[in-house]
Structure 1
Amino acid sequence: MDTMRERFAAVTSQLLDEDPRLAVVLAEIGMDGFTGAARRHPDRVVNVGIREQLMIGVGGGLALTGMRPVVHTFAAFLVERPFEQVKLDFGHQGTGGVLVSAGASHDWPAGGYTHMSPGDVALLDTLDGWTVHVPGHPEEAEALLRRAAGAGNDKVYVRLSLQSNQAPQPVNGAGFLTVRQGSPGAPVVVAVGPLLDNVRTGTEGLDVTLLYATTVRPFDAAALRAAVAGPTADVVLVEPYLAGTSTAAVNEALADVPHRVLALGTGRKELRRYGEPHEHIAAHGLDPASLRSSVTAFTGG
């Protein structure tokens, strides 16, 4: 199976052939995936070099001319380093584009903390109007990328990961899916993107309703409310980025329902040993055994 990032390069190269409005902006990273597309469309595959702020500025400038820019690099260099440009060149200017990240929380531990960005979605949450997709499988990544590229003037962030679920779900960018239905009033577990398999394994045999989220902004409040069948609610959030990123969205969705929230995700403490991705997943309590322990302790079994 190809990775989400490999699928991104293949799909976006195809879309460049089909849509003259599309342009790709890179800062060296990822350029190898667009070698053929750059030969076919030298004016619409732009490599600015190792200048991430300029990369965002070029994307915003292309959007002002009516183009649909797709901007790609590691999340730390796409969201954190040029955040002011994201805020101004897209938000303040009223333009749209597609930011596609790789790396994110702990996909490449050997790169160290400079190449990790567990707070990317939380940071974008400080801005208005961003749609955020977090696919859990290359097939889902393709569907969400095609949706994002074809949007009119929307601001879209697509967060790709090396971690992937075994099988894709029929996502369309419109809300959460119900993967497992618990009894009336059962706790609701919201699994985001590539953590679905770990959550599904970790909660096997437990009486919970399991929702799957690949589009986390806007947050599907209606699906969460529909899953809550009792006068009170226990909600467990399992996110592959900073723990608690969506807690405020849950609280807003259930403002009139007495509820508790357990927020699981990447912790704030920096893990200074490189290790491997699966070791970081376990260290943050996102492996199946740790998830089961956390959920049962929170819900009382």
Structure 2
Amino acid sequence: MRERFVSFTTQQLDEDPRLAVALAEITMAGFRPAQERHPDRVINVGIREQLLVGVGGGLALTGLRPVVHTFASFLVERPFEQVKLDFGHQGTGAVLVSASASYDWPAGGFTHMAPGDVALLDTLDGWTVHVPGHPDEAEALLRHAYAAGDDKVYVRLSEQSNAAPRPVDGAGLLTVREGRAGVVVAVGPLLDNVLAATEAMDVTVLYATTVRPFDEAALRAAVAPALSGAAGGAGASGPSGTVRSADVVLVEPYLAGTSAGAAAAALIEVPHRVLGLGVGRAELRRFGTIEEHTAAHGLDPRGLRERISSFFRW
């Protein structure tokens, strides 16, 4: 995804005189040709992440559309005050493009991991958050973000990828599989694992690549069959007379439960249960590999199958 980001953004710099890129060493080698052609719109501030975001805010004040890029831990966590003030408080916009968020570079250790980045941005108003699951999706969502006027957009790139892209529009949830017993929302690069885990389950699988704003209407529509009795029985009550609930599992490649509040808000008018699966809060101190971290957090197909089936009581 990061390679696609470099190639696509380099092309856009040639075509869109309003676009500017601010970097803090990370990925600078890839943007060297673009910097040579556009030295006034490709700026490397060095390893100074607070300055990086401040420069992005300054570029926005001049009328440019800044693209601000580095690792997620240095883009959202370290300069959070600047993100809050230089964009939110000043009323400016930018496209923050991160790399190596949750555990994409295990050898970098916890200093280079940011599983709480989306949850942190949730404390601020007005941010759109894209989480592509394939390089083609990353390009489509970057194109959408660059053209989004002066909006505040976060694009979370990953080393992990699904095998094939899906059509994404920068807005709603996409229905990948339909079922009657519950709903599983798979975010970004975890879709393939979710599909493998739920292959034998009678559940609807929704795919999310734009998680903020959260598509409340699509989630309500997806849970409607179970609430109407499509899973058996009549009305909103089960065979024993108990009230049916909208059962939803969220599978996110960042901090577990990040979108639980958004899902609960969407279902506030109906009985519901929400299970948030994702990266755990406990620090895993062995570097290992991406695959080992995925399994340790229970986000591989086997781990997901066990927890999802238990939640749906199968």
TM-score normalised by L of structure 2: 0.94
Corresponding position: 1:129 with 2:121: no
Counterpart residue number, 1:210: 205
1:215-226 correspondence to structure 2 within 5 Å:
215-226=210-221
- Structure-to-structure mapping, 1:14-53, within 5 angstroms: 14-53=11-50
Deviations 1:50-98 (Å, cap 9, x if unpaired)? 0000000000000001000000000000000000000000000000000
Gaps of at least 5 residues in structure 2 are 228-235, 237-244
Aligned to 1:291: 304
**Of 247, 268, 286, the match for 1:255:** 268
1:56-71 matches, within 5 Å, as 56-71=53-68
Give the counterpart letter for 1:210 in structure 2.
Answer: V
Equivalent residue, structure 2, for 1:201: 196
Aligned partners of 1:212 and 1:54: how far apart in 2?
36
The residue aligned with 1:147 is 144
Pick aligned residue for 2:70 from 65, 68, 73: 73
Q: Deviations over 1:106-162 (max 9, x none)?
A: 000000000000000000000000000000000000000011011101000000000
Alignment correspondent of 1:55 = 52
Q: Name which of 149, 155, 159 aligns with 2:156.
A: 159
Deviation at 1:174? 1.4
Distance (Å, rounded) in 2 between the aligned partners of 1:24 and 1:153: 15
**Aligned amino acid, residue 177 of structure 2:** R
Indicate the residue corresponding to 1:92 in structure 2. 89
The one-letter code sitting in structure 1 at the alignment partner of 2:279 is T
Query: Does residue 192 of the first structure (1) align with residue 205 of the second (2)?
Result: no
Q: Deviations over 1:16-47 (max 9, x none)?
A: 00000000000011101101100110100000
Secondary structure of 1:228 counterpart: helix
Task: Find the aligned partners of 1:281 and 1:152 in 2 and give their Cα distance.
Answer: 36
Aligned length: 296
Name the amino acid aligned to 1:285: G
- Shift in Å at residue 236 of structure 1? 0.2
Distance in 2, Cα, partners of 1:119 & 1:174: 22
Q: 1:10 is matched with which residue: 7, 10, 24?
A: 7
Question: CA–CA distance in 2 between the matches of 1:261 and 1:152?
Answer: 35
What is the identity, as a one-letter code, of the residue corresponding to 1:250? A
- Say which is worse superposed, 227-236 or 260-269, in terms of deviation: 227-236
After TM superposition, give the deviation of residue 205 of structure 1 in Å: 1.3
Shift of 1:275: 0.2
| Runs of at least 5 residues in structure 1 that lack an aligned partner in the other structure | none
Residue type matched to 1:167 in 2?
A
Structure 2 letter corresponding to 1:154: D
1:242 aligns with 2:275: no
Among residues 104, 107, 116, which one is paired with 2:104 in the alignment? 107
Q: Residue type of the partner of 1:225?
A: R
- Counterparts of 1:299 and 1:228 in 2: how far apart (Å)? 14
* 1:274 and 2:287 are equivalent in the alignment: yes
The residue identity in structure 2 corresponding to 1:273 is R
In 1: Cα distance, 2:153 partner to 2:138 partner: 13
- Calculate percent identity across the aligned residue pairs: 76
Corresponding residue of 2:246: 233
Rounded Cα–Cα distance in structure 1 between residues aligned with 2:212 and 2:35? 32
2:258 partner SS: coil
1:283 alignment partner AA = A
Residue 200 of structure 1 and its aligned partner are, at CA, apart by 0.3
The letter of the residue matching 2:103 is H
Structure 1 counterpart of 2:82, one-letter code: Q
Q: Whole-Å Cα distance in 2 between the matches of residues 33 and 100 of structure 1?
A: 15
Q: Give the ranges of 4+ consecutive aligned residues of structure 1 lying more than 3 Å apart after TM superposition.
A: none
Q: CA RMSD in A?
A: 0.5
Distance (Å, rounded) in 2 between the aligned partners of 1:29 and 1:192: 26
Aligned equivalents of 2:169 and 2:265: distance in 1?
24
Deviation of the 1:181 alpha carbon: 0.5
1:91 alignment partner AA: G
- Whole-angstrom CA distance in 1 between matches of 2:11 and 2:42: 13
Q: Residue 241 of structure 1: SS of its match in structure 2?
A: strand
**Secondary structure at the residue paired with 2:97?**
strand
Structure 1 Cα separation of the partners of residues 65 and 90 of structure 2: 14
- SS of alignment partner, residue 282 of structure 1: helix
- What amino acid maps onto 1:227 in structure 2? A
